[in-house]
Structure 1
Amino acid sequence: MAFGKKERPTVDKDGAALVMRKRDYLADFSGQLGLGLMANLVGQLQYFYTDKVGLAVGSVGVVMVIAKVVDALTDIWFGNIIDHSKGGNMKYYKWMLRMAIPAAVITVMMFTVPIQAGQIPAVAYVLVTNLLITAVIYTMIATPFAATMIVRTQSQEERGKMGIFRAVGNYASGMIIAIATIPVTNMLGGTQLAWIKYGAVMALVVLLTLLICYRNGSKAMRKAVEDDAVAAEPEEEPVEFLTAVKCLFGNKYWVIVLMFNLITSISSAIVASSGAYYCKWIFGNDNLVGIVGAVGLLSTFLGFAMSNIIIGKLGVQRTINVGLLGYALFCVIRCFAPANLVVYIGTSLVGSFIQIPLMCLYGVLLAMAVDYNEYKYEKKLVAVSSGAIGFGSKVGNGLGALILALFLMLGSYDSTLTEATSSMRAAIYGFSNYLPIVLNVGMFLIFRGFDLEEKLPAMRAEVAKRHAQKTGE
């Protein structure tokens, strides 16, 4: 051992092997960043379609929710295909390589809407491209990527750190899109062509980040198996799709994770799109979106820096409770001064900080639900269970887009006006300030049934006992 260096521990407090290195966390971050850029660009499409291309608000809302519903159904179906495929632990990484170039291509195609051909052809093009990017390409990357957290390490400590890095990647992608999209496209001319150029740059970034994640992840996974630091994943006996789905819905913890992703994704989708409308019509300048996002970086960095400490002190259950109720509280405060820019920025900053540790727990919650699968059914159903992440997120994003469109329609939204009407202001306040209160309080009530954190040690001991008995036989 080199002089002055501490020997790195080889196991965590529960005795699970520690296999992750700094570069592994960074590569995992890279993969989530690429996926996040794709997802957050899709989140900007509603504003792009209505205010830059000129599509009807109602048509956009209906098309996007159709795309999201179809997309969500493919997550569990594709997860079942992965569970039936061969290749052990390595099968989860190969899809990232296969779909990296298609992901970059479709990222550009999202913005090449042929509006000159008329509303109907343009709407049809929007439907097809949204189905391709979400139901096909994104799903074929995100579903196995979610599963890699479960097979990459058996250590809850390392899974927690992976969750933080993935949350940072996802949040960073959202901040990049929120801060850069409107100012950069306006600087390029604010036209559809400007958005196409912007999309091309983002496509290259998506391609690079996915390739980095694939190269490091596949190499590290292979080495960990060779060194016996991680057990090679045995090929589970195939489970029929309907049987697998029945098992998942019989696992109340998986259902809660599904609802957790669904509701938080509805809220996130609305927040991601509402900023542009809020700044344009309430404060009179949509370029403020970039400024608000830039100011928010401070609370973001602070939140992620403290996430590990907060989760360690509060535990999973209380971290989520604080995040949900805390965010709802600051939305209540904003309702009392909705047109005050300082209040808007302040409540956004503190609300984001409170929810950041919660964002770090998506993968951890999923891994716990998969452990319960093994305890209850003696099958992990890793990939199909990972569909909870994609299913909830995508249906949530689609419902968020539809809800946003409904609010705008009820508010008689007219993008050609120079000043917002009272009904337009009421609609913007509704989906920006009041709806998040309902969603976060509702999620708090649902999550009270997730008591797996306390039961997990005993469950794992029982599973280990079963394995020992089978080996003895």
Structure 2
Amino acid sequence: MVKEKLTFRKILERFSYGCGDFGCNIIYTAMSVYLMFYYTDYAGVSSTAVGVIMLISRVFDGVSDIIMGVIVDRTKSRFGKARPWLLRMCIPFAVSGVLLFSVPTGWSSAAKLGYVFVTYNLVSTVVYTAINVPYSALNALMTQDPYERSVLSIFRNLLATAGTLTINTFTLPLVELFGNTASAWTKAFVVLGAVSVVAFLINFFGTQERVRPATKDGKAEDVPFAKGVKALFQNKYWIMMTGMLALFFLMYSVNGGATVYYAKDILGDKDLVTTINGIFNVVQIVGMFFIAMLVKRFGKRNVFALGLVFDIVGMLVLNYSGGAMNLIVVSSVIRGIGNACGGATMWAMVSDTIDYGEWKTGYRTEGLVNSACSFGYKIGNGIGSALLGLILEIGGYVGEAAVQTAEALFSIEVCFVWIPIVVYVCGLIIMKFWHLDKEFSGILADLEKRKTEGN
């Protein structure tokens, strides 16, 4: 167990670490914000059918997450546990993203659904899992210093937000540039996929793994799968984070997927997605530079909870804006601050549960902890995708219609505003039971003692 700060080329390493989530978000944000829109309005696929496919796929995805977590924990190479997978999977990641936005429009409805099922599972179940699970484990393998983990989490979210901003800013203009047809989406993601490869290469070459288990020789044992899973459910903080991540990614899927519908059908201009998300993401990025000071003074839990309050206020401002652009901008600013607080702390809190789990059970399983969290939030994401399609269908949304009914517009508002508010309130309730910030220094001291004594 190494408790050292990232001193060698610290800023560069933090930036390199964050580049991994920049690369992940090239595809994740595209799937959350634009994929349903692409399917319904360009590929001509039923939103309900797609939602069901996404939900079913998340079950497969969850299983593959657990498998990948075990693989990461048992990976032994000169590059460490997690980093080798960043190098191995970066090109397959880009190629699978291109395939996702390449539905053959001339095929029958059944054939197109088959293509969607295969490519969506290729991306989410296989390729995204094989690169995102190792990346998620990397934070806990780079340092055990809680403040440094928070800073790494800040850089992760900074670059993740930059990836989201890149997608929100350039996707529709690229599609327009290439002809605003179904094939234009394929060409756009050839460009964006190449960008993701560069980001993952920076992530791989610019980081180091330093943390070793609390044993005399510092070598990890291969924890039997059954024992590893049992240890997870003895870890109350992991259970809290997994439940919260599932809720949040459900919300991200519903809210993010509804953004383009909200801009197009309620505000009357789909290009306003760039304005709404652009302001939101820029504020989030700027806010990140101030969050580290708050975390150092108040702790991750309190900063995270503060962010939830800002998110709720921002959504309420949006809901009662009456469509006024100035209030929509104000809402984006407030929500950007809220997301800066959450993004700077959430993943560091996941890493802290690894040390708590090792202290509680004697097993240190970075891969399994992160893959099981990933299983939770991907299930939430799948439910969110299905929920988005179901709510739009119930509301009577028709992709080709020039004007939507009042019921369809209300269904969009439910997805974009009210579901997020409910999730934020649930997050505040969960945070009432989070005490790990106060316990963490004692846990690390005890682990260090075990290492010294060889227990």
Q: TM-score range by the shorter chain?
A: over 0.9
Give the Cα–Cα distance (whole angstroms) in 2 for the partners of residues 99 and 393 of structure 1: 21
1:23 is matched by which residue type in structure 2?
A: L
Deviation at 1:169, TM superposition (A): 1.3
Deviation at 1:468, TM superposition (A): 2.1
Partner of 1:6: none
Question: Residue 278 in 1 paired to residue 270 in 2?
Answer: no
1:150 is matched by which residue type in structure 2?
A: A
1:69-468 superposed matches below 5 A: 69-87=59-77, 90-217=80-207, 220-221=208-209, 234-468=218-452
1:235 is matched by which residue type in structure 2?
A: K
> How many residue pairs get matched?
451
- Other structure's SS at 1:74 match: helix
* Contact 1:27/1:213, CA 8 A, preserved across alignment: yes
Q: Quick check: which has more Rg, 1 or 2?
A: 1
Decide which moves more: 285-294 or 339-348: 339-348
Decide which moves more: 208-217 or 81-90: 81-90
* Contact 1:236/1:379, CA 8 A, preserved across alignment: no
- Other structure's SS at 1:286 match: coil
Deviation at 1:389, TM superposition (A): 4.0
Partner of 1:31: 20
Deviation at 1:196, TM superposition (A): 0.7
Give the Cα–Cα distance (whole angstroms) in 2 for the partners of residues 337 and 302 of structure 1: 24
Give the Cα–Cα distance (whole angstroms) in 1 for the partners of residues 64 and 49 of structure 2: 23
Structure 1's 254 and 140: CA in aligned 2 closer, same or farther, altered over 3 A? same
Partner of 1:66: 56
* Contact 2:86/2:204, CA 8 A, preserved across alignment: yes
**Percent identity between the aligned chains?**
26
4+ runs deviating over 6 angstroms: 230-233
Structure 1 residue runs without a partner (length 5+): 1-13
Give the Cα–Cα distance (whole angstroms) in 1 for the partners of residues 217 and 118 of structure 2: 37
2:446 is matched by which residue type in structure 1?
A: E
Give the Cα–Cα distance (whole angstroms) in 2 for the partners of residues 190 and 124 of structure 1: 24
1:204 is matched by which residue type in structure 2?
A: A
* Contact 1:18/1:155, CA 8 A, preserved across alignment: no
Give the Cα–Cα distance (whole angstroms) in 2 for the partners of residues 266 and 86 of structure 1: 34
Deviation at 1:89, TM superposition (A): 6.6
Give the Cα–Cα distance (whole angstroms) in 1 for the partners of residues 276 and 371 of structure 2: 33
- Other structure's SS at 1:26 match: helix
Once the two structures are superposed, residues 403-459 of structure 1 have per-residue CA deviations (whole angstroms, 9 ceiling, x without a partner) of 111110110111121112101111011111111111110121122221111111112
Structure 1's 397 and 233: CA in aligned 2 closer, same or farther, altered over 3 A? farther
Give the Cα–Cα distance (whole angstroms) in 2 for the partners of residues 470 and 215 of structure 1: 33
Deviation at 1:192, TM superposition (A): 0.6
Query: What TM-score does the superposition give when structure 2 sets the normalisation length?
Result: 0.93
Deviation at 1:297, TM superposition (A): 4.6
* Contact 1:326/1:354, CA 8 A, preserved across alignment: yes
* Contact 2:147/2:296, CA 8 A, preserved across alignment: no
2:24 is matched by which residue type in structure 1?
A: L
Decide which moves more: 290-299 or 346-355: 290-299
1:346 is matched by which residue type in structure 2?
A: V
Give the Cα–Cα distance (whole angstroms) in 2 for the partners of residues 209 and 309 of structure 1: 27
Structure 1's 130 and 288: CA in aligned 2 closer, same or farther, altered over 3 A? same
- RMSD, aligned α-carbons: 2.2
Decide which moves more: 367-376 or 289-298: 289-298
Give the Cα–Cα distance (whole angstroms) in 2 for the partners of residues 270 and 409 of structure 1: 14
Query: What TM-score does the superposition give when structure 1 sets the normalisation length?
Result: 0.90
Give the Cα–Cα distance (whole angstroms) in 2 for the partners of residues 388 and 108 of structure 1: 27
